[in-house]
Amino acid sequence: MFDSSFWLEQFLPFLQTPIGGAIFIPLYAVWVTFLLPGVWASMLAGALYGIWVGSFLVFLGACIGAEVAFLLGRTLLRDWAQRRLAKRPKLQAVQKAVSRDGLKLVLLTRLSPAFPFSLLNFVYGLSDVSFRDYTIGLIGILPGTILFCGLGSIAGDIARFNQVLSGSQDFYSSVLRLVGLLATLSVVWLVSRAARRALQDSSELIS
């Protein structure tokens, strides 16, 4: 009988090794390419590697996956992406706006949590935005990446709560990480609100 818990116990420690961390990057890329939600994978990275290393690995994996999906949406999977887009009027508006405003709209939609990251990659592939502007716009995923990795890092600490309580230094370190996470959450919220306001100013998205 297949014991998933056993394999997880064996696989997760391996991911925490340097080789495992390198393998995590293409695994994350495949994850987002196949339209799977990246939130849980990002939180797992935070729990395994900590907020900063985890954010770095997730960002690399997300960029690779996003660019693969973009190129697939522009070539081999163009018909499939167009059929998916036909059911999403809001994303159709994004496609038109990005084709017109390029980098600005790519950044804004990346900063706003209202748009699905994985499917949006194919939407950009259908648009007229250049690959260069699309790649630069991936910077916009950094606030959300740091936030979810931070949540995973805190969750990992909570799972080892008995160890935290056994040493005051570890406890204070966890408090500092929590304060940092709350600050990051505030920044992400402010950035997301600003992005939503800017998007609302686009007549293409409002219509």
Residue found by looking up tokens 């994004």 in the block? 94
State the pTM of this model.
0.73
Please tell me the distance from the alpha carbon of residue 194 to that of residue 11, in angstroms, as a whole number. Answer: 40
Q: How far apart are CA 94 and CA 115, in angstroms?
A: 9
Provide the pLDDT for residue 2.
41
Dump pLDDT digits (tens) for 150-206. 888 877 755 553 443 344 445 445 554 555 555 555 555 655 565 566 556 554 443
Give the closest residue to 194 by CA, choosing from 108, 85, 135.
Answer: 108
Digit-coded pLDDT (tens) for 100-154: 777 877 887 787 766 778 888 888 888 888 899 899 989 988 888 888 888 888 7
**Residues in Cβ contact with 70 at an 8 Å cutoff, skipping those fewer than 6 apart:** 121, 122, 124, 125, 131, 134
- CA separation for the pair 12, 161 (Å, rounded): 19
Please say if the pLDDT value at position 3 is more than 50: no
| pLDDT(56) > 60 | yes
